[in-house]
Each structure stands twice: as structure tokens, then as C-alpha cells.
Chains A and B, each alone.
Chain A
Amino acid sequence: MIVSATQVSRWYGEVIGVNDVTCVIEPGITALLGMNGAGKTTLIRLITGQLRPTTGDLRVFGLEPFGNPEVYRRMGYCPEIDNFYEHYTGRDFVRFLARLDGMNAKEAMTRADEVIDMVGMTERAGRKIAGYSKGMRQRIKLAQAMLHEPELILLDEPLNGLDPVGRREFMDLLGGLANQGKAILVSSHILFEVEQMTRSLLLLHRGRLLATGDLGVIRSLIDKHPHQIRIETDEPRKAAALLAALPNIVSIKFDRSGESIQLEVHEPSAFYNALATAVLERGLSIRGLSSPDNNLESVFKYLVEA
């Protein structure tokens, strides 16, 4: 195992950062999921050896990570912060960090250009970072994390600020790295984002590790509870009559506006399949479909209740 945490807690004075976290991180992509303030960044800082655990034992490659160059030789870190040496160009910044990774000037130049190319910044790397957009900054941060071909890469909210194309490219790049056998830990507070990257999850809530393992298992745990679904339609009564015949419906309520209905369903995936059939075969007209449950808060609520 690449990272192992055993009953790790970290306190900031009287405020708890992470509480009694036990987990392992293996090769492949693992998502660290949690709402803002859940303790994701604290856990990443513990793994990257910027912080020491208050209690518990944390090992990276079997070593204590705090200030340990042996660990940093095998680890890349893309922090959440958006700060740089603003007067540097992107290329100079990456080259400087390559030198700190132990490369000589020539190696640093070559490798910096390689990783800059990998993140699609070759044409813009000669510009000063002060003029970079959020997305360009994210790419340069990722480039510096991959410089020394680390076995473990930690990415703190890496998709923030990236446009959809950038996200896709970023996810493809991470997928490629994972296929090379690298361990990648990606923190995010967006469930949808994470689902597109990996099935392996660490779910943090208020400093505690609420669930670990496969996203499907967590999803099925969630799916045991009735899901709220809101359907906007011009014919709510006709829609309700049709939907009532579908499987897994627990309840149907009409909205006060008269333009939508609220459903409670079991096994939402089965319901969505049946709904698609109803739309296609029975002419059910739908203007909008949303599920207030399809967000992290609901996931946490269900898991806490479970």
C-alpha cells in the first residue's frame, strides 16, 4: 500500500481537522470527497507531510512523511492554492521546481518542457503567470506535480476553474497516469465530477471518514432510501397518472405552481429507465427533470442515517 493512515486525528487548537481517520490508498485513482470544510485539505496536508498528525500513525511508502525528502522524491502535489511567483513565466516556474527535484539545468529544461506539453501549455508557458487564467494556473500546477514522475500524485480540487474541454483532457490525463500504475488521490466536493474519474472513494464529513470503497456500494447504500425527483411538465395530472403505474414509486405530490410534481422513488436507476420508456412510448411530456438528492449533502445525510 502506498498510503496508510491508522486512527489519524489532527486538531488546530480546539478545532478538529480530521478525526480518527483510518484508510489506505492503493495504485489507481482514489477520490477524496467531502463538502467544503470536511477536512480534505487537512488530510492531504498530512499525507504530503506539511502537517503532523496530533494522534495516530500515517505512513507514505512506509515512511513518516513530515518533512521527509525520501517521500517527496516519490510524491507529486498539486495544491488547492492559486498562488505562484507571479513574475515568473510558467516555464521558469516549472523549471525552478524541477531543479529542486534534483535535476540539473539541462534535465530540468527538457523535463519541464515535456510536462508543460502534457498539460497543453506549450504555447503559453512563456507568458508571465500573473496573466494566466484560473485554468492555465491549474495546468501549470499539475505540470509541476508530474515533474519527477512520482508514484503518488495528490491533487487538491484540481478541476476548479477548468472549462469542460479542460476537464475532459485533465481526466484523460489522470486516467493515463493511473494506467501506468501510479496512485492518484483527487479531492473534490462535487460528486458528479468524481463519478467520471473513479469508482474508488474516501468520503469525508466533518473530519470523519464516513465511507470508503467502491462508489457503486455507496450508491446502492444511498439508493435504499427513497429519492426525491422533481418533474416539470405542462400536464401534471396526466403525468402523475402515468407515473403512478411505474415501479418503485413511493409517493407523488403536486407542486403549488401546478407545473411540476415531486416524486419519491426507490431504486432511482430502475425508475429512470421506466420513465424513459414512458416518455417515448406513452407520449409523456417533460420540460425539466431534477433530483435535489443528487448532491453531496444528500449523500452524507443518507450515510449518516444509514
Chain B
Amino acid sequence: MEAAIFGQALRENLRLRRFLPWVIVGLVPFGFASQWPTFQPDAMKIDQYANVSSIFVFHILALTSAILTSTILTQEVENKTIVYLLTRPVPRWKLLVFRYLACSLVVALLGIIDILFTSAGVYGVLGSNPLLFRDIAAVIVGAFAYGAFFMFIGLLFNRAMIVCLLFAFGWETAVPNMPGQMCYLSINSYLQAIAQHPSAGQNKVLGQLTSSAGDNTLSSNTGYMAMILFAIFLVALGSWWFTAFEYLPREDAE
């Protein structure tokens, strides 16, 4: 039963029409990575990679998650197919959790593809990238953390996608650059702590773009712990919420 829920959600998200556009989006950081010396001729390769990764990959990760994960249930509600799922002998929390896991896995996979593209753009396909594995770890943790957050938003709001996109673009860009403790209210800050990219230095514009202009002093371990607990808490809260409240096809609910 669990395998069926997980497998169905995985197949849905890996459908070529849904998956391929996101792979193509991954070519954007690849393009910037390969052309970065044009913008910053004196930058070392590790800085080139770190800048492109922070500016593009982590923001694309939030965007991908916002679009894919917020629709875990809203799409079923809008298509009215939720009725078939809710009247089967499956606990509601299982429906939610296994769909979340499948969807987040796909987002993580897309994030890893973006990382590999970016790395290939800077170091070449076979080049050795010292930040590669930390970035892959950050993207995987980020996919599940963003996924939990956007899934929960999807449970709360009718038009969750708008809220999620505002969060992914607005909040996640602005808040990590804020002074004081504010940066700790952004998922991106924790992912940057996990990735431990080199500092953008004195370049304020680059600092803003790479979300490193704030007072983020988090350690990598704190980043892991905080994101794992955050995801677990939101998935548990979402499971309770989905179990306790009614979910009807949209037009019938009005």
C-alpha cells in the first residue's frame, strides 16, 4: 500500500512532461557557470562555482520545491481525484507522508542534476570539485525541508502556489541578507551553513545575490539538525492537519 502511494507519486513527478522542463532549467546555472569568468575574470574556480551555486542552484531548488511539493494535495483536490484516495482503507497520514517523500526525492534529484551541471560548467565533466558533496548534501536536506514547508502551506491555503512562490522568491532572497538574528528565519541560511561556501568577500552585490550578506554564523551541524527537525515537525503537523480536517474537491467546498 505504502509502495503504491510512493510509486504513484514518483511516477507522476518523473513523467517526462513534468520532469524534463526542470532539467532544462538546470542548464541556466550551467551556462552561467561556464561564462562566469566573463563577469569576474580574477575569480578562482571554487569561488565561481560557489557563487553560481548559491545564486542559482539554491534558488531553483526553492522554486522547484514550491511548484512540485505545494501541489501534493492541491492538485488532487483541484482535479477532484482526491475522492478516490480518501475513500480507500489508507490512513490519511500515510497518503500525505509517502507522497511528500516521493515528491521531495524528485526535487532532490533535480537539485543534484543542477549541482552536477554547475560543477561541469566550472570544472568540466570530470573535474574535481571540493564543494560537490557538501552541496549535494545541502540540496538533499533542502529538498526535504522546503518540501515539508510547502506541503504544509498547501494544506492550509487554497491558492498555496502563490504563497509558496512568494516565499521562494521574496523571503528566501531577502531574509538571509538581513542583519542580526533575522537570517535564521530562512531555510536558505541553514542550507548555506551546510554547504559552507567561501565568503563573497567585500563585493556587496555578490554578497546579496549569494544570500551571504547577513550575519549567518551557523555551523554545518546546526544546519543539518535544524533542517531535519524542521522537516520532521512540519510533516508531523501536516499529517495531523490532513487527518483532522475535511478535504473536498474545490468547487464543492465553496
Interface positions of A (Cβ within 8 A of B): 41, 45, 48-52, 67, 69-70, 72-73, 75, 77, 79, 81, 83-85, 87, 96-97, 99-102, 144, 148
Query: Knowing A67-B86, A72-B87, A72-B89 touch, does A51 contact B81 (C-beta < 8 A)?
Result: no
B-to-A contact residues, CB < 8 Å? 1, 3-5, 8, 15, 79-81, 83-92, 243, 246-249, 252
Q: B84 to A97, Cβ gap below 8 A? A: yes
Check A49–B87 contact: CB distance below 8 A. yes
In the assembled complex, the Cα of A79 lies from the Cα of B88 at a distance in Å of 13
Q: Which of A70, A97, A100, A101 has the most CB of B within 10 A?
A: A100
A selection of 7 A-B contacts at a CB cut-off of 8 Å is A50-B83, A51-B248, A69-B90, A77-B83, A83-B249, A100-B85, A148-B89
Instruction: Check B1–A85 contact: CB distance below 8 A.
Output: no
Q: How far is the CA of A52 from the CA of B88 in the complex (A)?
A: 17
Contacting residue for B248 out of A45, A67, A73, A144, CB 8 A: A45
Given contacts A52-B246, A67-B92, contact A102 B87 (CB under 8 A): no
List of A residues within 8 angstroms of B5 by Cβ: 100
Query: Which secondary structure characterizes the binding site on chain A?
Result: loop
Once the chains are docked, how many angstroms separate the CA of A289 from the CA of B89? 51
Q: Which 4 A-B pairs give the minimum distances between C-beta atoms? A: A99-B4, A100-B88, A83-B80, A69-B89
A177 to chain B, nearest CB (A): 18
Interface centre among A67, A70, A99 (most CB of B within 10 A): A67
Roughly how many angstroms separate A290 CA and B57 CA in the complex, as a whole number? 72
Are A100 and B90 touching (Cβ within 8 A)?
Answer: yes
In the complex, what distance in Å separates the CA atom of A45 from the CA atom of B92? 16
Of the candidates B79, B89, B92, B247, which one forms a contact with A83 in the assembled complex, judged by CB atoms under 8 Å apart? B79
When C-beta atoms are compared, the residue in chain A nearest to B92 turns out to be A67
A48→B86 CA distance, assembly (Å): 9
Q: Which of chain B's residues has its CB closest to A80's CB?
A: B83
B83 touches A81 (CB 8 A): yes
Q: A252 to B247: give the CA distance in the assembly, Å.
A: 55
Q: Are A99 and B1 in contact (CB under 8 A)?
A: yes
Assembled-state Cα–Cα distance A150/B108 (Å) = 40
A144 touches B84 (CB 8 A): yes
Given contacts A52-B246, A100-B4, contact A79 B89 (CB under 8 A): no
The smallest C-beta distance from B216 to any residue of chain A, in angstroms, reads 42
Q: Contact check, B91 vs A69: say whether CB atoms are below 8 A apart.
A: yes
Alpha-carbon distance between A83 and B251 when the two chains are bound, in angstroms: 13
**A102 CB contacts on chain B under 8 angstroms:** 1, 89
Return the contact of A73 from the options B79, B81, B89 (Cβ within 8 A): B89
Q: With A99-B1, A102-B1 in contact, is A72–B88 under 8 Å at CB?
A: yes
Complex CA–CA separation, A92 to B83 (angstroms): 17
The docked-state distance in angstroms from the alpha carbon of A96 to that of B8 is: 8
Within the assembled complex, what's the spacing in Å between the Cα atoms of A85 and B9?
12
Residues of A contacting B79 in the complex (Cβ-Cβ under 8 angstroms): 83, 85
CB-based contact A96/B90 at 8 Å: no
Q: How far is the CA of A118 from the CA of B169 in the complex (A)?
A: 52
Q: How far is the CB of A253 from chain B (nearest CB, A)?
A: 45
From A147, which residue of chain B is reached at the shortest CB distance? B88
CB neighbours of B80 from chain A (8 A)? 81, 83
**Nearest CB on B from A80, distance (A):** 9
Partner of A85, one of B81, B86, B88, B243: B81
A100:B86 contact, CB within 8 angstroms: no
**Which chain B positions have C-beta within 8 A of A73?**
89
Cα–Cα, bound, A148→B81 (Å): 19
Identify B87's interface contact among A52, A77, A84, CB under 8 A: A77
Which residues from chain B contact A148 at a C-beta distance below 8 Å? Answer: 89
Whether B89 pairs with A67 at a CB distance below 8 angstroms is no
A85 to B246, CA, bound (A): 22
Which residues of the partner chain B approach A48 to less than 8 Å between Cβ atoms? 87
> With A and B bound together, what is the CA distance between A72 and B87 in angstroms?
6
CA distance A51 to B179 in the complex (A): 47
Contacts A100-B1, A100-B4, A102-B1; is A50 near B246 (CB within 8 Å)?
yes
